[in-house]
């Protein structure tokens, strides 16, 4: 799987968040997107996921042939603090729903994943009653165990305690070695294993270009 960014830029109203990003993400490498608050880390990740439209440039997906942007959702999973779970469902219902949508890797069952998360006793509890840390575990599992070649993670350690952090690192080590992983973060704990880093501070438009 390869994702190519060419001359990519995003503008909100009259303000350019970033411009002229030229980069290739190639599986099975792991990448980190870093930058100061407001630099567009989450925005770039959502553009890559096909959930947000860019202002200029192109995003090209190859696996190995070119994939139409409207079909990329079949190849990508995203976990982020701003994405909501279906809180009317129990944990088991939610995972079974997702299993039918995208399937799980390595022939995992929903019961296997719930056990691995340490949430077996909460299988029949509605997600609305989960703590923020428990919800984050569910989001990470939904992304990592999805049967897709690309995993996108936005601030993956949000609301996690020490046990949750160790779980996250284990999920990356055990289940993501053969897939393309892109992480948006300023916390080195979340991306220290990434071989390449993209600093969005390097893609700010010049004052003269901001009004173009």
Choice among 38-42, 66-70, 179-183, 195-199 with the minimum mean pLDDT: 66-70
Integer-rounded Cα Rg, in Å, for the chain is 18
Confidence of residue 212 (pLDDT cuts 50, 70, 90): very low
Pairing assessment for the beta strands 180-184 and 15-26 based on DSSP bridges:
unpaired
Q: What percentage of the chain has pLDDT greater than the value 90?
A: 93
Hey, how many other C-beta atoms are within 10 angstroms of the C-beta on 195? 8
pLDDT in tens, 74-110: 999 999 999 999 999 999 999 999 999 899 999 999 9
| Domain annotation covers residue 153 | yes
Residues 51, 126: Cα–Cα separation, whole Å? 27
Domain membership of residue 123 (yes or no) is yes
Q: Check residue 4 and report its DSSP letter.
A: E
- Of 52, 57, 6, nearest in space to 152 by CA: 52
Tell me the pLDDT band of 205, cut-offs 50, 70 and 90.
low
Question: Is the residue at 194 inside a domain?
Answer: yes
Query: Is the residue at 208 inside a domain?
Result: no
Supply the pTM of this predicted model: 0.93
Q: What is the pLDDT of residue 30?
A: 98
- Report if residue 209 sits inside a domain: no
- The CATH number for 69's domain is 3.40.50.300
Total number of domains in the chain: 1
DSSP-derived 3-state class of residue 190 = helix
Query: Is 144 contained in some domain?
Result: yes
**Domain assignment present for 211:** no
User: What is d(CA 23, CA 196) in angstroms, rounded to the nearest whole number?
Assistant: 11
- Best CA proximity match to 193, nearest among 71, 43, 30: 30
Residue 210 lies in a domain: no
How far is 136 from 63, CA to CA, in rounded Å?
Answer: 29
Side-chain half-sphere exposure of 75, counting CA atoms within 13 A: 24
Q: Which domain, by its residues, includes 171?
A: 2-203
Angle (CA) 181-183-186 rounded to 5° is: 155
- Count other Cβ atoms within 10 Å, centred on residue 76: 24
């Amino acid at each position: 799987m390869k994702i190519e960014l060419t001359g990519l830029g995003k503008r909100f109203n009259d303000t350019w968040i970033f411009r002229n990003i030229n980069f290739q993400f190639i599986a099975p490498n792991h990448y980190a997107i870093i930058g100061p608050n407001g630099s567009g880390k989450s925005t770039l990740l959502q553009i890559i996921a096909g959930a947000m439209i860019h202002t200029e440039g192109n995003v090209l997906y190859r696996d190995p042939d070119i994939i139409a942007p409207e079909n990329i959702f079949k190849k990508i999973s995203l976990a982020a603090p701003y994405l909501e779970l279906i809180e009317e469902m129990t944990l088991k219902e939610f995972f079974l729903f997702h299993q039918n949508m995208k399937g799980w890797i390595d022939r995992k069952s929903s019961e296997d994943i719930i056990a691995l998360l340490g949430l077996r006793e909460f299988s029949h509890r509605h997600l609305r009653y989960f703590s923020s840390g428990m919800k984050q575990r569910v989001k990470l599992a939904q992304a990592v165990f999805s049967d897709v070649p690309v995993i996108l993670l936005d601030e993956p350690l949000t609301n996690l305690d020490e046990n949750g952090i160790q779980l996250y690192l284990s999920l990356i080590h055990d289940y993501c070695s053969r897939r393309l992983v892109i992480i948006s973060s300023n916390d080195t704990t979340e991306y220290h294993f990434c071989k390449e880093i993209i600093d969005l501070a390097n893609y700010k438009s010049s004052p003269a270009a901001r009004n173009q």
